[in-house]
Each structure stands twice: as C-alpha cells, then as structure tokens.
C-alpha cells in the first residue's frame, strides 16, 4: 500500500477523499523550499474527522473492533475507542487496519492484535 511517508500520506488522502486543492494554493510557497512540509500540509481535517466517525459508526457494535480499538488506545495509556482508531490510522497500522475494516476476518483481527501487542 505504501513504503514511505509520502506514499502513506497519499494513501490517507485518497482513502478519506481529502480535498486539498485550497491547501495546495495556500502552501505553494513550500513546494520547492520544503517538499516534506508541503506534503504534510495537504491534510483535510474535516474529511479525516468524517471518515473516522464513519468507521466508528460502522464498527462500534462489533466487539472484535471495540477490543482492537481499546488495545490500540492502550499505546497512549487510554481505553478510549476513538483514540484507538487514531492509532490504527497511523503509518504502522493503516494498511492492515483498512484491509480489516473492509474485510473483517478472525485472522485479520488476530494479526493486527499481535502487531499492537
């Protein structure tokens, strides 16, 4: 799915249908000076929030997802499922989590749980 930070950010933007056109204009001055910062600036917070809410609404009734969210939240000394979703959308877990979200299998839950432990 991705092998570096830039590809990860592209995957996040694509998956959550981020509209960054206004940000491309706002941060255009960074494009040549600091390409990494420019790319990091292309983040649609609203699209991400809506996407995270959608994921939570679609999975909150599934005990396996809830257990996974709590396990992930534990990395931040929390038990908040929404914090867990944030963790699962980070570089280390995004690819595996999205695959699991789109195709929940016991094997997928086991694999991701092991990766979080």
User: Is residue 61 located within the same domain as residue 113?
Assistant: yes
H helical segments located in 42-105:
45-59, 63-73, 81-88, 94-102
* 58 and 95 assigned to the same domain: yes
Report the half-sphere exposure of 16 (CA within 13 A, side-chain side).
24
pTM: 0.90
Which structural domain, as residue segments, surrounds residue 26?
1-43
d(CA 23, CA 41): 7
Running DSSP on this structure, what letter comes out for residue 74? G
Please check whether residue 48 lies inside any domain of the structure. no
**12 and 68 share one domain:** no
Contact between 43 and 16 under an 8 Å Cβ cutoff? The reply is: no
- Lowest mean per-residue pLDDT among 10-19, 32-41, 60-69, 96-105: 32-41
Q: Per residue in 57-95, pLDDT tens? A: 999 999 999 999 999 999 999 999 999 999 999 999 999
75 and 107 co-located in one domain: yes
- The reply to whether 49 falls in a domain is no
């Amino acid at each position: 799915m991705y092998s570096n930070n830039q590809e990860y950010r592209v995957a996040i933007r694509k998956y959550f249908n981020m509209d960054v056109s206004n940000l491309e204009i706002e941060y255009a001055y960074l494009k040549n000076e600091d390409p990494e910062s420019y790319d990091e600036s292309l983040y649609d917070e609203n699209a991400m929030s809506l996407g995270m809410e959608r994921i939570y609404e679609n999975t909150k009734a599934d005990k396996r997802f809830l257990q996974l969210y709590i396990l992930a939240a534990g990395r931040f000394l929390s038990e908040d499922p929404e914090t867990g979703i944030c963790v699962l959308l980070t570089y280390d877990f995004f690819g595996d989590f999205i695959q699991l979200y789109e195709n929940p299998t016991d094997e997928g839950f086991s694999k991701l749980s092991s990766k979080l432990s």
